[in-house]
Amino acid sequence: MPDAAAPASPSARTRVNRYRWLAHYDRETIYAILDAMPVAHVGYVHDGNPIVTPTLQWREGDRVYWHGAAHGRMMKATHDAEVCLTVSILDGLVLARAAYNFNINHRSVMVFGRPEAVTDPAEKTRLLKRFVDGYVPGQWERLRPVTEQEVKATAILSLPLTEASAKLRAGPPEDGDEDYAFPVWAGVLPIHLAVGAPEPDPRNLPDVEMPASLAAFSIG
């Protein structure tokens, strides 16, 4: 596909070079992927070694947030340092007629920048409430109130989405013209994340009820 089909990227390091036509840099596409998948991986350098830490992320406006232990190595290593946060969703296995053309249907986002720490206790508490209620609306108010020590022990970092790119692939295999006559099955094996039925803690008190909003939770 010609380079002219690729949209302009916000920076050199966000530019998608491989399969440029799959690149998206618009906010709506990036927001949709971040909102659909809470699991993120944060890449950084710690004591000269590359580290990728899985964590949970959430978006508020044009900024992505994630949390961790206040005294964990990620907090130390990412202070005034560059990171790369990624989110990906696997949508299907693409079986082509040639091994070279095997692929996946997917949605992914990469965000670059220097993370900013949220230090104000009131703002941290507000963001943690946003984090919890993002999964189950109204759940924060049902929980045992958070303590000052718990807020202090939790670190929250964030990145603006000014340097972000998305990559999306959908559809059937793309084989060379000469391979379409080869007698082997080709196609897509769709993959979907499924949310199962809630499993109550056996130590639940007998008079507590499951939040009705839990049934609406979805992912992917």
Summarised one tens digit per residue, pLDDT across range 117-174 is 999 999 999 999 999 999 999 999 999 999 999 999 999 999 999 999 999 999 999 9
| Cα–Cα distance for residue pair 29/109, rounded to 1 Å | 9
Closest CA to 193 of 20, 37, 26, 33: 37
List pLDDT tens digits, range 44-99. Answer: 999 999 999 999 999 999 999 999 999 889 888 998 899 999 999 999 999 999 99
Torsion of Cα atoms, 131 then 133 then 135 then 138, to 10°? 170
Is residue 2 very low, low, confident or very high in pLDDT (cuts 50, 70, 90)?
A: very low
pLDDT at 75: 86
List pLDDT tens digits, range 169-193. Answer: 999 999 999 999 999 999 999 999 9
pLDDT at 6: 57
